[in-house]
Structure 1
Amino acid sequence: MLATMTSHPEEQYLDAMARAWAEGSERRDRTGVGTRSLFGVTMRFDLSDGTVPLLTTKRIFWKSAVKELIWFLSGDTNIRPLVEQGVHIWTDWPLDRYRRETDEAIDRGAFEARIIADDQFAREWGDLGPVYGKQWVAWPDGKGGTINQIAQLVDGLRNNPASRRHIFTGWNVAELDRMALPPCHMTYQYHVADGRLSGILYQRSCDLGLGFGFNIFEAALLLRMLAQQCGLEPGEIVWMGADVHVYLNHEHLVAEQVARAPRPFPKLDFTRRPASIFDYRLEDVAITGYDPHPHIAAPVAV
């Protein structure tokens, strides 16, 4: 049975943000910025009516999120394909490493220009290590080969829908120390019932101010892609966050966003059915009826 709610489903998110700021445990973290943190938050979003949880209390740049998800599915771990498309969400990590290791005070624009223009520079400084995409589609099998978790997931959903093993994860303990950032949205599981596909995302760490909007939209989009590829209807996406936090320098974001009233979620459609889960393009994703409040700028903690 799908979750029923009398209030707007985005209220779950606004409530978590307000509680984290007002009641969260204040903690110092690896970034040095500090957070206010809750532990263990669950949200549910019904996708069966064609809507998608794209936050409306601030604008989410959903096209960048689509490009990021397609990049994950490609297995690439270099920022070059993203920056070539004007997506900057992964640049801060290699840029920070470059500044620390070379003492060059380069700005982001100049760094990205070099990533695009110089093959050798991109190979050396644009790679993030074995992050999400590498684990999703090329997990080392211990025998010199790799395992494509996403391909196995699609095959399982098509041929053994009642299985309780429709799972993939990015949390490869043996390779965490080589990753620019260990996976935050780390484990996904799916469930088929009455011809509908539902999913759970377990997220070990979530920045409510900047990360959640991308995370929940991409999880819902991936579920819709899987449903289309497997001939299923969408059910619901369940989000489970462990360390759910707001950064201390995001007070202005929290105050402004929780004061806004959510608007109706937009609809998501596909313009075609690609040949496989790995063949989606940005233009395949159609979002209609998205009428968000304005974007709220806030700094990223690296």
Structure 2
Amino acid sequence: MSKADKIFKEMCRKILKEGIRTEGQKVRPHWEDGTPAHTIKKFGIINEYDLSEEFPIITLRPTAFKSAIDEILWIWQKKSNNIKDLNSKIWNNWADENGSIGKAYGYQLGIKHKYKEGYFDQVDRVLYDLKNNPMSRRIMTNIYVHQDLYEMNLYPCAYSMTFNVEGDQLNAILNQRSSDILVANNWNVVQYAVLLHMFAQVSGLKVGKLIHVIADAHIYDRHIDMVKELLKREEYEAPTFKINPEIKNFYDFTVNDFELVNYKAGKQLKIPVAI
């Protein structure tokens, strides 16, 4: 079976068994009909994926591989905060009349900062250090910028990456303040697994481990029965991940440079999204 399926199932069982319900508490998210969207939440989930062994996409239900990559390129490569630069509609609920999501995500990654070597934005600083100072313990990004939060239409969920090189292997920790487990958990895992592959390839490194740290891992009340259904589903073998080996420049990657071979998954669910 896919190791990602095993990790996902263990996480869901842990949340359902040990989690705290938010009914009776004031919560920000709501359903489309205006009803408060309550959760079962578990603090401090840590999942480890060894990308050298397999690509961590679940097979219990399909994860939209190409759309997930399109969004991660929108944020990290285009450094955009406008949905007009994005092919999917996942950000429409948080965009203003001009398509902007405010000073969030890609906007923060594109701001240039002064270093002793010159001016870099956060992405270019990672690329510089991986090539010129790979043993550094300071290869990090952070888009949770407090002075700009009031101008963000949604506070960043996945907000920080820490990169670390061991020998010729690139590892990373993804820090996430909040994760909608059914809707977005594997979507984010797939995105940052692809991102780690990208950084490794253009830096002449092999891909290693992705550690996913989630502060508030939650299952929404209207998702509980769907999660329980997934826990009963058959798992399939993990697909083979392919990345175009000819790409040596981070900014040359396109969605078409990534492929999953033999991706088999269970039936898709119609999932309501809390906003």
> Identity over aligned residues, as a percent?
29
Mapped partners of 2:184, 2:112: distance in 1: 25
Q: State the 1:140 CA deviation.
A: 6.6
Mapped partners of 2:141, 2:246: distance in 1: 23
1:126 corresponding residue in structure 2: 99
2:192 corresponding residue in structure 1: 219
Mapped partners of 2:16, 2:266: distance in 1: 21
- After superposition, the Cα gap between the structure-2 partners of 1:140 and 1:163, relative to the gap in structure 1 and judged at 3 Å, is closer
Q: Show structure 2 runs of 5+ residues with no match.
A: 30-35
Give the letter for the 1:10 counterpart: D
1:101 corresponding residue in structure 2: none
Native 8 Å contact 1:57 1:257 kept in 2? yes
Give the letter for the 1:38 counterpart: K
Give the letter for the 1:229 counterpart: V
Mapped partners of 1:262, 1:203: distance in 2: 26
Q: Show structure 1 runs of 5+ residues with no match.
A: 1-5, 98-123
1:33 corresponding residue in structure 2: 37
2:32 corresponding residue in structure 1: none
Native 8 Å contact 2:113 2:121 kept in 1? no
Q: State the 1:70 CA deviation.
A: 1.0
- After superposition, the Cα gap between the structure-2 partners of 1:296 and 1:7, relative to the gap in structure 1 and judged at 3 Å, is closer
- After superposition, the Cα gap between the structure-2 partners of 1:147 and 1:158, relative to the gap in structure 1 and judged at 3 Å, is closer
User: Which of the two has greater helix per residue?
Assistant: 1
Q: Which of 279, 282, 285 in structure 1 is aligned with 2:255? A: 282
Question: Secondary structure, in 3 states, of the residue corresponding to 1:204?
Answer: strand
TM-score with structure 1 setting the length? 0.82
Q: State the 1:274 CA deviation.
A: 2.9
Native 8 Å contact 2:104 2:155 kept in 1? yes
Post-superposition Cα deviations, 1:26-61, rounded to whole Å, max 9, x if no partner, equal 114201211110000111111113x21111111001
Q: State the 1:139 CA deviation.
A: 5.5
Native 8 Å contact 1:75 1:138 kept in 2? no
Mapped partners of 2:153, 2:113: distance in 1: 18
Native 8 Å contact 1:8 1:262 kept in 2? no
Moved over 6 A (4+): none
The RMSD of aligned alpha carbons is: 2.0
2:93 corresponding residue in structure 1: 92
Q: Which of 59, 64, 86 in structure 2 is aligned with 1:61? A: 64
Q: State the 1:198 CA deviation.
A: 0.8
Mapped partners of 1:220, 1:135: distance in 2: 21
Aligned length: 262
Native 8 Å contact 2:2 2:59 kept in 1? no
2:16 corresponding residue in structure 1: 21
2:52 corresponding residue in structure 1: 48
